[in-house]
Amino acid sequence: MTPALAPASALVIAPHQFPDLEREAALAAEFGLDLVVCTDQAHFTEQVARARVAMITPYATVGEPEVAAMTAARGIVRYGIGYDNIDVAAATRAGVPVSIVPDASSEEVASHALALGLALLRRIPTGQAAIADGRWAGAVPADLPVLSSACVGVVGMGRIGRHVARWWQALGADVIAYDPFASFNDVAAADLDTVLTDADVVSLHVPLTDETRHLVSAELIERMRPGAIVVNVSRGGLIDEAALADALRSGRLAGAGLDVFEAEPLPASSALRDAPNLILTPHAAWKSRSSIAALQAGAVERARLFLTGEPPRDLVMA
């Protein structure tokens, strides 16, 4: 018979890819907790009942069963800003607060988005493919938008979106932005449909919710500016990937830069894998020589607040 798990006796870490867990181990030792480092989703689901605090990466899901098991947990900490792998509504109902770390890699993610957009605006993947296929400059279209006359649409003006908008402006582009929850006056505001359909480059910086899932749909793509570019460094579910692949193959869209996908790692069967004019990176936009340490330190700081009973930071609720 499997022994009963001691409730709320551990700092439970979801499956991770960090170089080490020295900060987390020190925190667990300070509060007399076991450090439980889970190897996969099944192991996490089995151990989460022990969590006084559960620390969540993108590699585990906190659904209704996990929340129900956390009967004595003081909180959930999500490494990073995205929390679509946590059932926040269930956690809220259960009285388990959820805290995120929104500021560990804003500059890194924004610079990644800018780099993808610039590379695609200049059709660099097209040029690289031309050389690989034994062709030359004639394979690159001559009707590229000039940067100073390009329109960049930023969807979401949080920390990352603001960086992106400001940098595109500094390069001379005309920037328009949409965010129903943020106030800004340094960029021209427009309604969502205008931002999505008028821009040469659409850069997505919003969370994945029921309202934003497949924001870039087949229907929306048909209304976008012909030859437009889509950049997504936020969440894969914002884009209908099959519709995007079709639009790239038909030439309806000129390119796309994606760091996030509906299923990760990207399945071998994904329609995106053989689509043209596409830059794919493996959910790595957040990485830098300092971001991993900042992310772990921020998560440990928030876990400490839960453990000491101090007011938590950066809470999210359904």
pTM across the whole model: 0.89
Sequence-separated (6 or more) residues with CB below 8 Å from residue 267: none
* 280 vs 93: CA distance, rounded Å: 38
pLDDT score, position 180 = 95
Instruction: Report the pLDDT value the prediction gives residue 7, as an integer from 0 to 100.
Output: 66
Query: What value does the CA radius of gyration of the chain take, rounded to a whole number of Å?
Result: 21
Task: Kindly name the residue from 108, 235, 241, 262 that is annotated as catalytic.
Answer: 235
Residue 53: which of 43, 62, 64 has the closest Cα?
Answer: 62
What structural domains does the chain harbor?
10-104+290-316 (3.40.50.720), 106-280 (3.40.50.720)
Active site residue 302: no
pLDDT at 8: 73
- How far apart CA 2 and CA 4 sit, in angstroms, is 6
**Which residue stretches of the chain are H helix?**
22-30, 41-47, 64-69, 88-94, 106-121, 124-132, 159-170, 192-198, 218-223, 241-250, 291-308
What pLDDT tens digit does each residue of the chain (318 aa) get? 344 455 679 999 999 999 999 999 999 999 999 999 999 999 999 999 999 999 999 999 999 999 999 999 999 999 999 899 999 999 999 999 999 999 899 999 999 999 999 999 999 999 999 999 999 999 898 888 899 999 999 999 999 999 999 999 999 999 999 999 999 999 999 999 999 999 999 999 999 999 999 999 999 999 999 999 999 999 999 999 999 999 999 999 999 999 999 999 999 999 999 999 999 999 999 999 999 999 999 999 999 999 999 999 999 987
Active site residue 112: no
Q: How far is CA 10 from the centre of its chain?
A: 28
CA dihedral for 156, 159, 160, 166, sign (positive or negative): positive
Q: What's the confidence (pLDDT) of residue 143?
A: 84
What is the structure's pLDDT at 1?
36
Which one from 43, 213, 283, 313 is the annotated catalytic residue?
283
pLDDT for position 2: 41
301 catalytic per annotation: no
The pair phi, psi for residue 10, each rounded to 5°, is -145, 155
